[in-house]
Chains A and B, each alone.
Chain A
Amino acid sequence: MKQEMQIILEVNDQAELFYEDAIQIGDHAAYVLKARHRSQMTGLENVAESALKVSDVLDYVKRQTARFSYWRQNFPASEDVNNGSGSYEIFGERLKKYLEDTLAGMRDAICKDKLKINDKSEKERHLRRRVYLLLIRQFLRQVVIQYEYRVSFGNTKKGDNAHAVPGTATNAVRSER
């Protein structure tokens, strides 16, 4: 129980560190998927929440990238309201790399330095997989929240607003133009 609590605390600490990255990738998602492909984001979140393996999430990202051209669009810096989110990488590749490289690095750091878990025994390998999955779930939750925020209230250039009703923030922005 003590170790489980420690894992949750460490993952939450890391979540503070990758928040900015989640914002950027969430903005990229909003730019390419727009509101009409919301199911792609809910699907991704559902897969991550129910996955038993990290590779199931990575396979899902690759499959969607292969199937849908909007997963293969980059995010031109000129369209970027946050200065810095822009990327010449396609969305699916960018997300895959983040999950595969950056979050794997965070898992290694947490396991080695904080939790003192290596990968010598079966039990330790299970724990490493659990830490990795928790990091991915936390990160994708943040990405999805930013995506929702951006398509609902953000710049319509990016979000193709689906909830535009009289009096909402987006319509107010439109009327000012």
Chain B
Amino acid sequence: MPSPEQLQTLYDLSDNELYEGAVAFLHRIVDEDECMPLPASQVAGLLNIANASSYAELDHFIRHQLERNWSESKKDIKVFYTELDKELKDIKKKYLSSFQLVQTGKSVKEVNQETDELMALLAHDFIQHLMTENMFLLAAKVDERAKRR
């Protein structure tokens, strides 16, 4: 269970880094890689996993999704999960070490458990920001299409 101080640090990270990071990530995928936003069914699935699972389970789910044999029409989903996998690894590298969330003087098992808990919280917040931006973009695209008709 993260300490109150760790939670405060996570809240600051979420506001100052993860929120903007999630918005930039999605725009990179949509604008530069020219992928469609994630469809609603995938959004619901990813959010459920992010809300209820440990980081190890979330990581397993993302790897499963990116290794699936997606049809040509759904190849954007593969790109999305491949990029998300990289992004979460970056987040782990950047924030777990530089913000010293993991306290020293603990056994390896305890440190691993704490790392998993903190990463689950970081990943949850990142995915929550990512999915709301995704929904926001999807709605804008639907409105744009309706206007063109």
Contact = CB atoms under 8 A, between A and B. Distances in A.
A129 B7 CA distance: 13
A72 B14 CA distance: 26
A46 to B, nearest CB: 17
Interface residues of A, number: 18
A65 B136 contact: yes
A129 B12 CA distance: 7
Contact of B132 (A52, A53, A54, A66): A66
B14 A63 contact: no
A53 B14 CA distance: 8
Nearest to B125: A55
B120 to A, nearest CB: 17
B138 A66 contact: yes
Contacts of B18: 55
Interface string B97-139: 0000000000000000000000000000100110011011011
Given A66-B139, A67-B135, A126 B128 contact: no
B138 A52 contact: no
B136 A62 contact: yes
A54 B15 contact: yes
A117 interface: no
B116 to A, nearest CB: 22
B103 to A, nearest CB: 14
A62 B8 contact: no
A122 B136 CA distance: 31
A117 to B, nearest CB: 13
A103 B18 CA distance: 19
Interface residue tally on B, bucketed by range: 20 to 34
Given A55-B125, A66-B132, A72 B139 contact: yes
Interface in A46-85: 52-55, 58-59, 62-63, 65-67, 72
A66 B15 contact: no
- Residue of A55, A72, A119, A126 with highest tally of chain B CB at under 10 A: A55
B132 A126 contact: no
Interface string A99-112: 00000000000000
Given A58-B19, A119-B16, A122-B12, 19 more contacts: A52-B11, A53-B11, A54-B15, A54-B19, A55-B14, A55-B15, A55-B19, A63-B136, A65-B136, A66-B132, A66-B135, A66-B136, A66-B139, A67-B135, A72-B139, A122-B5, A122-B8, A122-B9, A129-B15
18 contacts: A53-B11, A53-B15, A55-B14, A55-B18, A55-B19, A55-B125, A58-B19, A59-B129, A62-B135, A63-B132, A66-B138, A67-B139, A119-B16, A122-B5, A125-B12, A125-B16, A126-B12, A129-B15
The 9 closest A-B pairs by CB, nearest first: A66-B135, A66-B139, A55-B19, A59-B132, A62-B136, A125-B12, A62-B132, A53-B11, A54-B15
